[in-house]
Structure 1
Amino acid sequence: MRKAIFMGLCEELAPTLRRKDTRLRAALPVEKRVAIAIWKLAIPDSYRSVANQFGVGRSTVGIVLMQVCTAINRILLRRTVTLGNMQEIVDSFAQMGFPNCGGAIDGMHIPILAPPHLGSKYVNRKGYFSMVLQALVDHRRCFIDINTGWPRKVHDARSFRNTSLFRKMQAGTSFPERKITVGKVEMPIVILGDPAYLLMLWLMKPCTGSLDSSKERFNYRLSQCRMTVECAFGHLKVRWRSLYGKLDLAENSIPAIISTCCAFHNICEGKGKSGTQAWTSEVQHLEAEFAQPESRAITGAHRGAARIRDALREQFEAENQQ
């Protein structure tokens, strides 16, 4: 994070984070509070290590971290994790190979310590405790919509059905009204998911089972566009490595931490600040310890969704033969 970005954050958060001096001690400056939170999120160090780094008490680190994350969620989250220029998004995904696409959706497991109650709900197929971040990402690898807090025992499709994004997509209010004709079928703006999601009029996923050349080509194009969400998760983990350090917090505090990391991610990506190869190598080491489990694929489709997918498949096949 560049200094200019950091100082801009401090300025926006100052009214909420500034504290008055007392007779016993001077209040921590806003800049130091924000720096402590960013350091703790970016480096998978213990609270004691961060406290020694900044010359504060161990408990102060935890208090300041939650104060900053609460302020970010209240002030900046809705402004940073939001839909951008819709025309630019659709045009960019079309250039990647998929028409009338508004984003790519997927889930990521965040390792956590075993919760004191109902811990078995949080154990995933790889055997570690995790909380799921489900995110919709645009062509720039920025988060458009996020939902977190679900334990791993809940399938991706079920958790998705209980999000505000699902309700908005069903109501047709998530994106502007923009339909195109593919073959003889009308197609609204769609989002792209993996086989763990249900095929919907507005959600396209790969073909499964026996694949011919046209289905393979459809899957390839869809996969090329879905790489944006995988890259977004990769950059998120590269920059905020505490997400791979088993978050030492109560389970009801973890969603605020994850949301803050997503907001910071969008701020940095929007300013063109990317990670380094050294960061990527460290994340790959962490991923070896906490591998992402695969979600069970589901079958079935909303009425009419398969017609849209078939029409797209036929169009991609015709374009390939030209």
Structure 2
Amino acid sequence: MLTTMECCFWARETSTEWWDHIIMQVWDDEQWLQNFWRRKATFMGLCEELAPTLHRKDTRLRAVKKWEAIAIWKLATPDSYRSVANQFGVGKSIIGIVLMQVCRAINRILLIRTMTLGNVQDIVVCFAQMGFPNCGGAIDGRHIPILAPAYLASEYITWKEYFSMVLEVRVDHRGHFIDINAGWPGKVHDAHIFQNAGLFRKLQAGTFFPDQKITVGEVKMLIVILGDPAYPLMLWFMKPYRGSLDSSKEWFDSSKERFNNRLSRCRMTMECAFGHLKGRWCSLYRKLDLADDSIPAIISMYCTLHNICKGKGESSTQAWNSEVQHLEAEFEQPESRAIRGSQRSAARTRDALREQFEAESHQ
């Protein structure tokens, strides 16, 4: 005999008290900065910009605030999906959906707006004050640890024997990201990534910077960007000298060292930018537990939020910097592999700069 039974649905009771009362009403700016890496006013301003793009049935600003907070909390802490769900009083399955919706909204609205070249003349002047003339920025790459990919995993393993994706960025004198390139497998050489980027093609064609040359000795020098020895020496790209010093030519060796010191001083803006980025988003030092095709978008969002925080004057704290130094040891960055065979004309420009720096040191 068949009988009918009424279906019952149940769900565990959750609480939003922590978010609705503690965070939104009790926390001051210092607590917001420590936990959300920005002050409350900056957070609210970003929510208002994202509200029209977050397409859900409930598009009230109140809901958008909570979605953004969930996404930031998940990415800026080592908390699990379950832990974040319990804290915000939502279902565990919601966390991943909200994370990617907020990520896509930030990249769609704000990435292009924040990744801009800005005033080239200001950049050149400020780098000249640091010691390097006619410089339009610095470029470098970082390996972001990830879980082992399901396909072609061997392409993602680094010399340091962990899986990674490469983030390559160019910064200005303030440590503001001007151009980013994310998602290449960890085994791919930095120079190969650079040569396949849109930035490289624009620089090669002479369309990225204005045609502004200065005379160094007898050489006409274009606006250049600075990088480490892994990159090729180009008319518009300067990198340090490599190789052992020749003790028989001490003046020549000291001039090379002086050139390298000046270039390194300007490239410190890059190191500081990466330090602040990873200080805010410590998950960049852990293996990102995301689908392979989602990671480049998440990294782009990190960089976009970094620029927004810098634009709003959100400074880093000593606690963040200490945590970065502690976490760096676990996933050490692979050493850059140099490329040989520099262009002769670019080498002449570098030698002319070296000679000028040497002459200035004796004045």
Q: TM-score, normalised by structure 1?
A: 0.96
| SS of equivalent to 2:52 | helix
Which residue of 2 is the match for residue 11 of structure 1? 48
| Cα distance in 1 between the residues matched to 2:360 and 2:129 | 14
What is residue 237 of structure 1 aligned with on the other side? 278
1:117-144, Cα deviation, whole Å (9 max, x unpaired): 1111111011111100000011101101
Question: Equivalent residue for 2:186?
Answer: 152
1:159 and 1:235 map into 2 onto residues whose CA distance is: 23
Aligned partner (choices 74, 82, 87) of residue 121 of structure 2: 87
Task: Find the aligned partners of 2:80 and 2:321 in 1 and give their Cα distance.
Answer: 21
CA distance in 2, matches of 1:245, 1:27: 32
Distance 1:108 1:189 in 2: 24
Q: Which moved more, 1:40-49 or 1:309-318?
A: 40-49
Task: Provide the rounded CA distance (Å) in 2 between the counterparts of 1:303 and 1:145.
Answer: 28
Deviations 1:274-306 (A, max 9, x none): 221111122222111111111211112124100
- What residue identity is the alignment partner of 1:166? F
| Amino acid paired to 1:148 | A
Select 1:222's aligned residue among 263, 271, 276: 263
Partner of 1:280: 321
Greater shift after overlay, 33-42 or 308-317? 33-42
SS in 2 for 1:304: helix
**1 CA distance for matches of 2:331 and 2:344?**
38
For residues 91 and 320 of structure 2, the distance between their equivalents in structure 1, rounded to whole angstroms, comes to 28
Partner of 1:169: 203
Q: 1:13 to 1:94 in 2, by over 3 A?
A: same
Report the AA paired with residue 133 of structure 1: L
1:112 touches 1:247 (CA, 8 Å); kept in 2? yes
Contact 1:97 1:221 in 2 (8 A): yes
- Cα distance change on mapping 1:21 and 1:102 into 2, 3 Å: closer
Partner SS, residue 225 of structure 2: strand
Q: 1:122-141 maps to which residues of 2 (within 5 A)?
A: 122-141=156-175
Alignment of 1:202-213 (within 5 A): 202-211=236-245, 212-213=253-254
C-alpha contact (below 8 Å) 1:104/1:138 kept by paired residues: yes
Once residues 205 and 259 of structure 2 are traced to their aligned partners in structure 1, the CA distance between those partners, rounded to angstroms, is 27
Q: Distance in 2 between matches of 1:4 and 1:177?
A: 41
Q: Between 307-316 and 266-275, report the one with greater CA deviation.
A: 266-275
Q: 1:64 aligns with which of 98, 108, 120?
A: 98
Q: Aligned partners of 1:281, 1:291: CA distance in 2, in Å?
A: 16
Give the Cα separation in 1 of the matches to 2:268 and 2:206.
Answer: 25
Correspondence for 2:360: 319
SS at match of 1:174: coil
* Contact 2:167-2:181 within 8 A present in 1 as well: yes
Q: Which runs of 4+ in 1 moved over 2 A?
A: none
Distance 2:284 2:158 in 1: 16
**Selected match of 2:231 from 197, 204, 210:** 197
Report how far residue 53 of structure 1 moved.
Answer: 1.5
SS of the residue corresponding to residue 139 of structure 2 reads: strand
Larger Rg computed on CA atoms = 2
Distance 2:310 2:85 in 1: 28
Confirm whether residue 302 of structure 1 aligns to residue 339 of structure 2: no
Question: Aligned partner of 2:275: which letter?
Answer: G
Q: Residue 18 of structure 1 contacts residue 29 of structure 1 at CA under 8 Å; is this kept in 2?
A: no
Q: Give 3-state SS (helix, strand or coil) of 1:29's partner.
A: helix
Give the aligned residue type for 1:58: K
Of residues 227, 235, 247, the one that matches 2:288 is 247
Identity %: 76
User: How far has the Cα of 1:19 moved from its partner?
Assistant: 2.2
CA distance in 2, matches of 1:164, 1:7: 34
TM-superposed CA distance for 1:245, in Å, is: 2.1
- Partners of 1:252 and 1:204 lie apart in 2 by 33
Matched, 1:263 2:304: yes
Report Cα offsets for 1:92-120 as digits up to 9, x if no partner.
Answer: 00000000000000001100000011111
Higher relative contact order, chain-length normalized (CA < 8 Å, sep 6+): 1
Aligned-residue CA RMSD (Å): 1.5
Moved more, 190-199 or 52-61: 52-61
TM-score, normalization by structure 2: 0.85
